Amino acid sequence: MGWWPMMGCPLRTRAQLGARVGDFVDPTRFSAFLEMHIEQGPVLDLAGEAIGVVTGIVGLRQLQVTIMGQQNHAGTTPMAHRRDAFSVAASIATALPDRFANIVTPQSVWTIGQIALHPGAASVVPGRATFSLQWRDIESDRLDRMEAAIMALLDDIAASSGCEVTATRLRHDLSPMPMDVGLQAILSKAADTVAPGRWRAMPSGALHDASNLAVLMPVGMVFVPSIGGISHAFEEDTHQADLITGLAVLADAAARIG
């Protein structure tokens, strides 16, 4: 019986597609889950390659860091006597690369994507700064070591600045999720057939449906290039020819599974 390749859907038979299901679908009905997605990064586009066979999806951790300084007048408070919460936050941000230097790889990432100052007035030294700090990596051990470096930095900054620095977990930790080895091999053969010499194996720095389904069934993913490596912006786009190539790889892989 043949299989249908579907973007972001489990492989299933025609009969299964037509069957009615209850609130929960039995995962044993499915042989595998194959997902095609834009890379959301620059690697494939810069290399002029058409396909990325995903080896695993990174883990993610996130903290909310709060600095309590001293709110005061911006014109009358000498610089040497300030406990400026924003300056402390900036010190943390600029110190992170050095603290991570002997821990991270070129694929490790960290981001301060949100920051809020209180009271948020132009003529007031900020008394409180709150920001998010997120880090991602494909190795759980490296995530642990990055977290240890972050906490040590926060302790050091609190001691040197005279400000209170606290960190609160913003979300549940997400563990790295490897893709099924057998499906990686099948997708690699399909990529070599459809786009010989124009594909690579690579981790995913973004989170995907495949990560959730990996606990239920074998999962595999392929990436197609993002133009200019842009994602989460209005300029995000992918060439139609690359989308077609990705679909051809999915179809070839599905045929090999079937």
Query: Mean per-residue pLDDT for 86-110?
Result: 97
Query: How large is the C-alpha radius of gyration of the chain?
Result: 23
| 14 — pLDDT class (breaks 50, 70, 90) | very low
Whether residue 97 is preceded by a cis peptide bond, meaning omega within 30 degrees of 0, is no
**pLDDT single digits (tens) 19-42:** 454 567 888 888 899 999 999 999
Within a domain: 3: no
**CA nearest to 30, candidates 3, 54, 48, 58:** 3
Q: Domain with 117 in it: what CATH number?
A: 3.30.70.360
Among 134, 152, 169, where does a domain finish?
169
Domain span at residue 24?
9-57+177-257
User: pLDDT tens for residues 103-148?
Assistant: 999 999 999 999 999 999 999 999 999 999 999 999 999 999 999 9
Q: What are the pLDDT digits (tens) for 169-191?
A: 988 889 999 999 999 999 999 99
Rounded Cα gap, residues 208 and 57, in angstroms:
8
pLDDT at 6 over 50: no
Is the Cβ–Cβ distance between 245 and 51 less than 8 Å? Answer: yes
114 occurs within a structural domain? yes
> What is the structure's pLDDT at 201?
97
Q: Which of 169, 193, 216 is the last residue of a domain?
A: 169
Confidence of residue 8 (pLDDT cuts 50, 70, 90): low
197 with 97, same domain: the answer is no
pLDDT single digits (tens) 207-245:
898 888 888 999 999 999 999 999 989 999 999 999 999
Q: Which residues contact 27 (CB under 8 A, 6 or more apart)?
A: 213, 216, 217
- The confidence band for 50, taking pLDDT boundaries of 50, 70 and 90, is very high
Q: Residue 222, SS3?
A: strand
Contact 224, 43 (CB under 8 A): no
Amino acid 210: pLDDT: 86
pLDDT at 22: 54
Q: Which residue has the tokens 């936050």?
A: 89
In contact, 257 and 6? CB cutoff 8 Å? no
The pLDDT value recorded for residue 62 is 97
Number of structural domains (the chain) is 2
Cβ burial 56-78 (10 Å sphere, 16+ → b, else e):
bbbbbbbbebbbbbbbbeeeebe
* Mean pLDDT of the residues in the chain: 91
Indicate whether 132 and 197 sit together in one domain.
no
- 4 pLDDT above the threshold of 90: no
Which of 148, 169, 190 is the C-terminal boundary of a domain? Answer: 169
